[in-house]
Amino acid sequence: MSEHEDSTIRDTDGPDTIERKIGHRERERLERSLRRHEFGRPEVTELELGKKTHKVAKVEPMDVDGVRTITAGTIFWGVAIIALLPFLGTLNDSGRGWWMWTCFAGFGLGLIGLEYCRRRRNALHSQPGKRRAR
């Protein structure tokens, strides 16, 4: 029997024989890769563009409505307004009064964006399955 035939894994080989043929590290690596797939790892396909080949996973985009992000930003601008209020005189004297107006603009635009995102979220929840065209 040649060395190449001895390392071939057959369906009739038991776990001890397989470990002897491929080694315990290789067996553990294969088991880890199988477990990764069980936990929802997406299928990967290859896409050729020109001379390059790219690996592409088939995943669904996250459905994020943006309400939480806009709320956090609006709160940040509100805190910045409150933090700058004690220094309003100093800011105006040094020519940096625009800092306060920037905070007011950020807070106001955040409120507008929050209302927009809330309306969009409610519209998407009232019409399940309907998504905007891309």
Structural element, H or E, at residue 56: strand 52-57
Cβ neighbours of residue 78 closer than 8 Å, sequence gap 6 or more: 107
Last residue of a domain, one of 13, 29, 57: 57
Residue 131 domain-assigned (yes or no): no
For residues 14 and 37, state if they share a domain: yes
Residue 72 domain-assigned (yes or no): yes
Are 103 and 80 contacting, i.e. CB atoms less than 8 angstroms apart?
yes
For residues 74 and 107, state if they share a domain: yes
For residues 11 and 52, state if they share a domain: yes
Residue 132 domain-assigned (yes or no): no
Between CA 75 and CA 121 the distance in angstroms is 20
Range of the domain at 112: 67-126
Q: Which residues of 9-45 are buried (b: 16+ CB within 10 A; e: fewer)?
A: eeeeeeeeeeeeeeeeeeeeeeeeeeeeeeeeeeeee
pLDDT of 82 higher than 50: yes
Give the predicted TM-score (pTM) of the model: 0.53
The whole-number average pLDDT for the span 91-99 is 95
For residues 30 and 79, state if they share a domain: no
Mean pLDDT of the chain: 81
pLDDT at 77: 98
pLDDT tens track for 11-33: 777 777 777 777 767 777 777 66
The whole-number average pLDDT for the span 79-107 is 96
Which range of 25-29, 53-57, 108-112, 130-134 scores highest in mean pLDDT? It is 108-112
For residues 95 and 74, state if they share a domain: yes
For residues 9 and 38, state if they share a domain: yes
**Total number of domains constituting the chain:** 2
Residue 12 domain-assigned (yes or no): yes
Last residue of a domain, one of 39, 57, 75: 57
